[in-house]
Structure formats: C-alpha cells, structure tokens
C-alpha cells in the first residue's frame, strides 16, 4: 500500500520523506498556489527532494480535452522520472485520459465522488483514481464506502487501476480506507504525522530513558560506549 504526501511545501516534503516510507507527492492547483512559487520550478524542486523513482503528480487546468492533453504532454516532457498527470473526471477529462493513454502518458483521475466516475476513468485508461473521502463525507455521503465500492468494481471487472484515496480530515478515515483495501492514500503532512503520534508511546519512551539513566547515570543516553 502506498503513502503519498498531498502537499507542495518543500520543507514538509523534505521532513516527511526523510522520516517515513513515502512513495511520492501529489499536488493540486490549491496546494500549489499556497506556496506562491512558479509552477514548474516548484515541481522540479519537489522531484529533486524525493528523487526520480518516487511518484510525482500534478494537475492540468484546461477544460477541453485538447487543452488538457497539451498541458499533460508539456508537463510530461518537462518533468523526468515517475510522473503522473492528474485529470479531473469531467466528460472532457475522460476523453483526455483516453487520448493520453494512447500517448503513453500516465494519468490519475481526480475529483472522484462516485464509484461510476472511477469506473469510467479506469476503463478510459487511468492508472489511478483519487476518491475524495472527506469531501464526500462533508456532502453527507460516505467516503469510505465509495472507496470500498470502487475497489470491488475494479476487482470484479479486472480493471488494472489503483485506488489512491485522497482528502482526509482525520486518521480514522485513513484507517478505514486501509481496511477496505485502498492501494494507497495521499494525505496532508499533518495527517501523515498523526499516523504515528500517540501520547502513550511518548510516555513509554521517556520512562525507558529515565529508568536507564537512574542506573547508568544522567549523561548515559546511548548504549554505545563512549571513550
């Protein structure tokens, strides 16, 4: 199962990529705008942090399929390595996914709210679909159930498309899409950090250290002998 950082903040990406088993970075126009940087150099800098083997996703802005295809081809030429173009699942977006598949450009179908949007995008040739779990919940839907249904549809119909669940407000949502068998999650840095945070873990670690020091001495905070 893959874990991606949903951010374009270089500092957060550097920190999380160093700490955790991160598989890549996803961005969208909102996330990019927050950084107040020129788009392409920002993407290249993200890639230089994570390396060319890890996945990098960036979204097109065109509304017509032809424009999306042009933007996708441009980005795909400019960005080396394991690059994916995010295409919203509008009708024109589905057409663009079909055309990009023919050109061998990898796509992720984004802004997914229903299982059938995911189905049509997968059939058009998207490598990934990104259902928006929290945004579905906010519309009185059930984001985890949508993820679960998409996975079932892909399995029943042998569609070689992965479900990268996106849009999370809490770890509970992430926990549940993991249980449903999502192929990956992309989450904001603060959500990823909360995967490991637990007050009892911190208390235990502090307690182990205090007990160690009470016998071996205050300055002994390592098991490696110092000369």
| Residues identified as active-site | 86
Q: What is the dihedral of CA 90, 126, 66, 34, to 10 degrees?
A: 70
**What dihedral do alpha carbons 215, 220, 222, 227 form, nearest 10°?**
-120
CB-wise, 117 or 186, nearer to ligand G3P? Answer: 186
Please state the closest distance from residue 156 (CB atom) to ligand G3P, in A.
26
CB 104 within 8 A of CB 85: no
Question: Helices in 20-166 by DSSP H: which ranges?
Answer: 29-34, 39-50, 65-78, 91-103, 115-124, 133-138, 143-156
In this structure, what are the phi and psi dihedrals at residue 53, rounded to the nearest 5 degrees? -80, -30
| 135 alpha-carbon distance from chain centroid | 15
Nearer to ligand G3P, 39 or 212 (CB): 39
* 66-125 binders of ligand G3P (CB under 6 A): none
Residue 13 interacting with ligand G3P (CB under 6 A):
no
Q: Is 166 in the site for ligand G3P (CB under 6 A)?
A: yes
In the complex, least distance from residue 138 CB atom to ligand G3P, rounded to whole angstroms:
8
Residue from 23, 167, 177, 182 in contact with ligand G3P (CB under 6 A): 167
Provide the minimum distance between the beta carbon of 174 and ligand G3P in the complex, in angstroms, as a whole number: 12
Residue 195 buriedness (CB in 10 A; 0-12 / 13-18 / 19+): middle
Q: Which stretch binds ligand G3P (CB under 6 A): 60-68, 130-138, 195-203, 218-226?
A: 130-138
Query: For ligand G3P, which stretch binds (CB under 6 A), given 65-73, 129-137, 175-183, 200-208?
Result: 129-137
Examine residue 193 and tell whether it contacts ligand G3P (CB under 6 A).
no
């Amino acid at each position: 199962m893959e874990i991606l950082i949903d951010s374009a903040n270089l500092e957060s990406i550097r920190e999380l990529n160093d700490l955790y088993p991160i598989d890549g970075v996803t961005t969208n126009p909102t996330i990019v705008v927050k950084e107040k940087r020129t788009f392409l150099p920002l993407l290249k800098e993200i890639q230089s942090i994570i390396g060319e083997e890890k996945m990098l996703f960036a979204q097109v802005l065109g509304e017509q399929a032809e424009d999306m295809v042009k933007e996708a081809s441009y980005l795909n030429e400019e960005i080396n390595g394991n690059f994916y173009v995010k295409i919203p699942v509008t009708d024109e977006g589905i057409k663009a996914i079909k055309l990009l598949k023919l050109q061998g450009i990898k796509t992720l179908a984004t802004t997914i709210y229903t299982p059938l949007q995911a189905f049509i995008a997968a059939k058009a040739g998207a490598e990934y679909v990104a259902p928006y779990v929290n945004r579905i919940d906010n519309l009185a839907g059930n984001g985890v159930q949508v993820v679960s249904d998409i996975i079932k549809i892909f399995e029943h119909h042998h569609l070689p498309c992965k479900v990268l669940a996106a849009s999370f407000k809490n770890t509970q949502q992430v926990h549940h899409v993991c249980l449903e068998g999502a192929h990956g999650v992309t989450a904001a840095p603060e959500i990823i950090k909360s995967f490991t945070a637990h007050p009892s873990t911190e208390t235990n670690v502090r307690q182990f250290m205090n007990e160690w020091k009470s016998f071996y001495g205050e300055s002994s905070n390592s098991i490696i002998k110092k000369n």
